[in-house]
Amino acid sequence: MTTCDDTAAPCASCCAADLPVNPFVALRVAFGMLLGEDDFRTLMGNSRGKQMLHSAWLHGSGVVWGMRARLDGEFLLRVSPGLALDGHGRELHAETGWCLDLRDWLTRNQHTADSANEGDTKVIHTRLLAEFSCRPSNLVPTLADPCDVTRKRDDYSRVLETVHFTLSADPVEPVPVPYRRVRALLGLGEADTEVDSASCLPPEQRAAELLHKLRVLAAADSAELAPPSAEEPFPVTELNAPVLLAEVAITVRVADGAMTIVKVDLSPEVRTTLLPTWLIQELTCGLAPGLLGPDTQPDAGGPRLDPGSLKWSANGDQLTFEVTAALNPRSLRRAVRVTSLSADRGWVDEDIDAVRVDEESGTHVTVELAGRLSNELVRLTVRGTGPEPAFGVHPAVPLAGVRGGPPGSRHDGHDAALTFTFGRTQA
């Protein structure tokens, strides 16, 4: 069933007092008490308020199922039945569909294109919203109040919770996205140095480090959270509580003093969808290989090249870099290779005069070339595989590749390969 209602409005006779919300006040009863209407409101408002508070803060606002927004023809906007949670944790249940003729909406909202002149084309940006609504129901007889001059003898015993769909062109104030640090940790924002440090660890240490970072950053994020209003305990104000179902861009043209619709673009992908807990549990299993890497064997502890330590001399005949553990100097001569790409001859081997390892640290490597680099595009390769890899001292295992790479074994490591343009990595 679908209801075409382009003039609907929230029920004026149903006020907030009909649905009390008091999550931190509970009813206490004792034998012999005389309970009145306010006591029953307290009883109802406590459980309702706790459920709303839980849903708003721990689940958030979004669509649970249905409420599909689509265009029927050129000008008819339809929304299917569905269920959603708004920013105050209230369930928005639409038993029937809803439709709106955009031409009628435009007639009632001529002010949205007041700045357009004759012959102009303008795009009106609107938002399709689902808002909480309610109405009283089930009229029953009541005892007349002797002080009531109207002598009212009946009243409503039910409140029906429903949803009101609306298309709004009002400007919206952006709401900051919470948990910005946690989002950055998981790749949904610009990462800082603290977040990036976890990716530089060996694979077998990443899970524990990510868990630690998650706890630290989540604690910092949650400490910044607070309700925007002292009067309401919810994460958003009533103005920002509706659920966004779609963005609708209406292109209109002004001709002969009237506006006509040229095109309508519907973007339902802007909505937030709430996923069930069981699905999130299974998705975490799918993320495990990305965290642990394709090979879950423990790392043998071989040295790793630090890409950030690479430096060239000013004239391009000497290269230095750092590794994470001491190297055997005698294993490097045939393990290090420097090549450059020529536009005419392709890859050219640069002649290496000497490869030295700092005796004190064992981790600082200097590569001296016989002459200056032949070309700008240069590639450094330090082998951790094959018959002659670079080898560590303690433990005596092959080079494991670059810092943050996959684990290496005691039998075979990984090559460390870096490509760069000379001049951008000069000392």
Whole-number percent of the chain with pLDDT over 70:
86
Judge whether 186 lies within some domain.
yes
Q: Mean pLDDT for the chain?
A: 86
Q: How confident is the model at residue 227 (pLDDT cuts 50, 70, 90)?
A: very high
Please list, in sequence order, all residues whose beta carbon lies within 8 angstroms of the beta carbon of residue 115, skipping any fewer than 6 positions away: 122
**42-51, 117-126, 347-356, range with the lowest pLDDT:** 117-126
**DSSP letter assigned to residue 94:** E
| 362 lies in some domain | yes
Note the pLDDT of residue 155.
83
Q: Left, alpha or beta for 151 (phi > 0: left; psi -120 to 50: alpha)?
A: left
Q: Categorize the per-residue pLDDT at 99 as very low, low, confident or very high, splitting at 50, 70 and 90.
A: very high
Question: Is residue 354 located within the same domain as residue 262?
Answer: no
At residue 158, does pLDDT exceed 70? yes
pLDDT at 328 > cutoff 80: yes
* 103 and 243 together in one domain: yes
Residue 409's nearest CA partner among 299, 285, 281, 270 is 299
347 part of a folded domain = yes
Burial class (CB in 10 A: 0-12, 13-18, 19+), 271: buried
Domain count for the chain, please give it. Answer: 3
Structure tokens of 377?
Answer: 């595009």
Token pair, residue 301, equals: 């502890």
Q: Cα(253)–Cα(346) distance, rounded to whole angstroms?
A: 58
Query: pLDDT tens digits, residue range 236-282?
Result: 999 999 999 999 999 998 887 678 889 999 999 999 999 999 998 88
**pLDDT recorded at residue 57:** 95
How far apart CA 47 and CA 43 sit, in angstroms, is 7
The residue type found at 130 is A
Segment among 249-253, 282-286, 315-319 with least mean pLDDT: 282-286
Evaluate whether residue 108 is within a structural domain. Answer: yes
Mean pLDDT of 41-61: 94
Using the 3D structure, point to which of 280, 295, 317 is the last residue of a domain.
Answer: 280
Segments forming the whole domain that contains residue 95:
2-143+151-177+226-280
Q: Which pLDDT score is estimated for 240?
A: 92
- The model's pLDDT over 2-38, given as tens digits with 9 standing for 90+, comes to 555 443 334 444 455 568 899 999 999 999 999 998 9
Tokens coding 259: 């506006």
Q: Do 275 and 413 belong together in one domain? A: no
In a domain, 295, yes or no: no
Residues 256 and 320 in one domain: no
Other Cβ atoms closer than 10 A to 247? 17
78 Cβ contact list (under 8 Å, min separation 6): 2, 69, 70, 71, 72, 97, 98, 99
6 contacts 79 by C-beta, under 8 angstroms: no
Tell me if 158 is assigned to some domain. Answer: yes
Q: What is the CA radius of gyration of the chain?
A: 34
256 and 339 housed in the same domain: no
Please write the tens of the pLDDT for every residue from 176-218. 889 998 888 877 876 555 555 666 666 667 778 888 888 999 9
293 found inside a domain: no
